[in-house]
Structure 1
Amino acid sequence: MYPTELEPASPSEIILIPGVSPTIPLVWGLVGLIVALVIHEYGHGILTRAHGMRVRSFGLLILGLIPIGAFAEPEGREIMRAPRRERQRVFAAGPAINIYGAFIFFIAMALVANTLTPAINGVHAEGIIDEQPASEAGLQPWEVITHANGTIMDDRNDFTSFLDSHQAGDNITLTVLTIADSEGERQQRDINLTLADQYQYQLDLGTDPQIIAAYGIEEGDAFLGVMGLSSNDAGANELAGPLSSSASKDPIPLAVGLAIQPLKLIFNPIDNKGEIMHEQELQLLDSETFLGLEGTMILLHLLFWITWMNVLLGFANLIPILPFDGGHLLRDRLHDYFAFFAKFFPNSHPINVQNTAHKISSMSSLILMGMMILIVALPMLI
């Protein structure tokens, strides 16, 4: 079933505040935010001192007995009188160290994720296609296929090889474990089905035959009728991304994967209602480390949310809106550009250059802020 109308996101879903947004759990979100804020402010403070400017104060923001952030307050007059290039480095230091930190914590998280193993060998499907063999046989999403025609299916590679060895019209028997009940128990059953034709299924969807051929699909290829067929450690592998044990080790895919994987992690809690992976994927994992499954999961959640908050805080602060770091960077960069072109106009005055840079940066901040408010508010008004 598909929704006929998309509901606009509520303000609590859009405002990414721990405990307010359902996307961010309170405890993990606060821990990740505090670590990211401390790293961010340390970056500003270190660069401020490195360029010979004083830091008036540095410390933690406390709500009751709970630290909720950090601050580094440079000497205002000194930073405003500093050369623009040095001032830009100070403003850029916070977001930069957040982004570098995100990569470091991501690597640590990937190492922990790689220690997770399937609790049950087999494969599962995230979705079942209506009126296809799996659906008609009663297979449900997230049920674990452990055997096919009596042969053990350890992972996705085993099962795809099994399907490749069969043709449309073949009858097969799958041994399936149901979704765990409230006590964590699973029931085993056998289901019998007749494989469909994948080529014909694509034609029925209206797919161009040339595109079908480009994907290597031929007439008579076996089709089970499932979506998202995965090994049972897929949740851990998705977190580790290019550093997972099953990922390609070629240098180019590895480098590209490392660059984008921390950004992809932003969508995990959004897609999984505040969890780092789907609830059913969590139930399919185990750990043989000295920490055990519970300890490994605690460490994995800790590293995930620190990575997540560092990515979010780093890139959010680069938005060219005052008083974010990106707004200050935009203002100083505009001043540099205008000062360069002012050399070609003898009547240009430095005060005019400064005023123009300030006006444009302030105007762009207002425009961007208005656009962001409109994006949030418009779906609720329509």
Structure 2
Amino acid sequence: MKVLLVGGGGREHALAWKIAQSPELSKLYLAPGGAGLNHLGEKLTFGDGELEAIADFAAENAVDLVVVGPEAPLAAGLGDLLREKKDVACFGPGKAAAQLESSKSFMKEVASAAGAPTAGYGRFETPEPAKAFLRGQTAPYVIKADGLAAGKGVVIAETLEEADVAVDEMLGGKFGEAGAAIVIEEFMRGEEASFFAITDGENILPMIGAQDHKRAYDGDKGPNTGGMGAYSPAPVFTDKVRERTMKEIIEPVVAEMKNRGTPYVGVLYAGLMIEDEAPRLVEFNARFGDPECQILMRRLKSDLLPVLYKAATGDLKGATLDWSEDAAALVVMAAQGYPGAYEKGTEIKGVETANELSGVVVFHAGTKEEDGKLLSNGGRVLNVTATGHDIEEAVARAYAGIAAIDWPDGFYRKDIGWRALERRDAETPA
């Protein structure tokens, strides 16, 4: 099977790593690929934003399946272009269905129509009514850019003054078009987790849960990021929570999208807030999470490729996936200053040494090769993943991988997995 993988970050490195293991793969194309994954396939000359070039190449080269990693090409309609104009199978939703991620207010509307539990909200395009709405809420206040903001368009304000500033900044252009409208939500209490399910628009194959760390610094402090680490399994995501998430959120939303004439094809990523084993929907993403995808791929025992193809071609019924009982953990190494301003082009050493450690695989999120050197080329730069018999061992191995890498210009959180470890300690008899 010929496969074209769109994207070049850590998520795509993990997908390429897994797809390349499939006996059904005959050729893997990468658009645009990256320093860490180019050895897994053929790097193409165009990037993930060049939709026409991707579609033309796929059609002209008899590509059997296009797997879209990032959200932006999906939101721009790459799935529609491939399926409807080029007759090429695509793992990823069309533009209308991708609004589950690209528009917070659309997601809320669909969730409400489907009866999925989520926070109350209001949508605003001008500051005055937004601020008036805030005064009817209680702290803390959740303000979100309505569109795609690379995981950074969320402010949780402790005071009305902070909330007012966030409203002015977002509607004033801080996030460009993504902030042309904002959504203000009720603050939901509980513990966050991520859950993933693959669907062909009707049939649904549940995957597994994970937990990530959004804040930049230890103790869940600092600004929101795209994710500074992750682990799976997440103890808060019990079998009961999984069952309720499928019945109360995933299944009704997939049915609602089909009823609207815009069936959702691909992986549906539900960000959840869980309290007393009751899940509520925080958000949907229209693709695999980053960094959660990386640890899912580390725990997945099955061949992923045929399942992606079945989903893309409407043939998912009866498909299964097998998962390792081992735990997986990931620590992000980011450039100093991220998620604010940061320097690119700083040298990184020791990645190969880290990859030789037991259970460790390093995925590249933002690197480039130049004159035989590995250089940073993004905010989140490396994803150091590890597996182990339990979370404690997986986390310890991931940090051993970190210790093997020589990159003075990077930083990382030192408390990845703290919730799971704290829960384990609380449940361990004295």
State TM-score, norm by structure 2: 0.19
Higher helix fraction (1 or 2):
1
**Which has the higher Rg, Structure 1 or Structure 2?**
1
| Structure with more contact order per residue of length (Cα contacts < 8 Å, sep ≥ 6) | 1
Higher strand fraction (1 or 2):
2
State TM-score, norm by structure 1: 0.21
